[in-house]
Amino acid sequence: MMVKRLFVVLIMMVLVSMGFANTAMAKGQADNPIDQAFAQDLCEAMNTIEMNYVSEKYMDAWKAEMKNVAAVLKQSYVFAEDKAHVDVYVASYEKVAESAGYIEWLNWSDAKEDPNHRSFGTGAASASLSAKANIYKQATINLIDAYHGQAGDNSLNYTYVYSGKGADLAKVRDQHRQ
């Protein structure tokens, strides 16, 4: 009976913590200039060329933001060892992003074929780039949370450096009409 109660308490703790994590993640997803700038482009991209273009620009924006917040976070640390851990963190997320992109590419491929001669669907590139973007986004949100934790009584808030207007989908459309 005691084991059962302990198990129930542990499950409840996990569910509560997941709720807090999901709330924090949802805030990070909605309150940022990157998602706001790309929202329309991501919805309006109609064909493979447009989806690839928008997905690549979106991924690039999140990767650049990740690197920026890492640099800002490193400035809040005193010791080189602590700063090095931020570099390891970023490098690790870059490896995860590459793997996530590859796995998504496989999802659009005939995995029974030799990898050197494998065919893949037209959505493979944009799906792969989107998977990478999601990894960079999560890493960015995590680093921002770490920065806010270091801010202490100073109440510093991270300010996104991204100031673009999305992928400028009209530009790629004009290039392909000519």
Cα–Cα distance between 128 and 123 in angstroms, integer? 8
Q: Dump pLDDT digits (tens) for 75-129.
A: 999 999 999 999 999 999 999 999 999 999 999 998 899 988 888 889 999 999 9
What predicted TM-score, i.e. pTM, was given to this entire model?
0.80
- Answer whether 28's CB lies under 8 Å from 158's CB: no
Q: Dump pLDDT digits (tens) for 137-175.
A: 999 999 999 998 876 655 668 899 999 999 988 887 888
Strand partners, 120: 109
Give the residue extent of every domain in the chain.
48-177
- Confidence band for 26, pLDDT divided at 50, 70 and 90: very low
pLDDT for residue 36 is more than 60:
yes
